[in-house]
Amino acid sequence: MPIRIETATRRDLHEVAALLATAMETDPVFLDVVPPRQGRAEALRGFFEAYVLTYTGSERTIDVARRDDGTVIGAATWAVNRVGRDSRFGEQLALAPRYLRALGPLGVIPPYRVQKVLERHRPLDTHWFLSAVGVLGANRDAGVGTALVQSRLDAIDDAQEDAYVESSTVHDRRFFERLGFVPGALIQGLDHARPVGMFRPPARRRR
């Protein structure tokens, strides 16, 4: 299936949010971010509407996979973490009203709790962080996810930089291992997920 990989524009953000909300609905980590409850699908969509806005600033980007007709069928959100485990709290605080509208007063607590648990295990050195990647269901076995993530990894290799991801299922870990990520320790402290942090040095250091 012909696809092209591009950097998302602001016009794509609503489509990307809808895609990620669908793709990540059953992901164990996002079951902690937006726990099961009535109206969860709508709340998750609202969460991602705010979430993708944090990826429009400096050193943050969203890559998308498009069909020839322009439809977005996959998306990956990346950030350069140059300050170790910094949560970019000011950036998150600026979006607090959007999270409040989407999740309600009590609903904003789980995402920040998840963030703090995961941050404690992230590398302290500069790295590219893949925070979410999703592909629409009908395209998941067509190599779209591999092409989407590999496109950014090629650029990361060219820059001789590191990459990191948190993988929450065995299937995902196998996917990232094929792309050169090495599994680390199990991350404890979440209710629905036991993710594994996975680190990937650039190609030259992997040889």
CATH class of 3-206: alpha beta
pTM for this structure? 0.91
For the chain, the first-to-last Cα distance in angstroms comes to 32
Query: What is the tens place of the pLDDT at every residue in 175-201?
Result: 999 999 999 999 999 999 999 999 999
Question: How far is 98 from 65, CA to CA, in rounded Å?
Answer: 26
Domain ranges for the chain: 3-206
DSSP 157-188: HHTT--EEEEE-SHHHHHHHHHTT-EEEEEPP
Categorize the per-residue pLDDT at 90 as very low, low, confident or very high, splitting at 50, 70 and 90.
Answer: low
Categorize the per-residue pLDDT at 88 as very low, low, confident or very high, splitting at 50, 70 and 90.
Answer: low
pLDDT of 117:
93
Average pLDDT over every residue of 3-22: 94
Using CB atoms within 10 Å of the CB of residue 127, give its burial: 0 to 12 exposed, 13 to 18 middle, 19+ buried. Answer: buried
Categorize the per-residue pLDDT at 75 as very low, low, confident or very high, splitting at 50, 70 and 90.
Answer: very high
Question: How far are the Cα atoms of 39, 72, 123, 158 from residue 35, in angstroms, in the given order?
Answer: 11, 27, 27, 39
Residue 60 tokens read as 């943050």
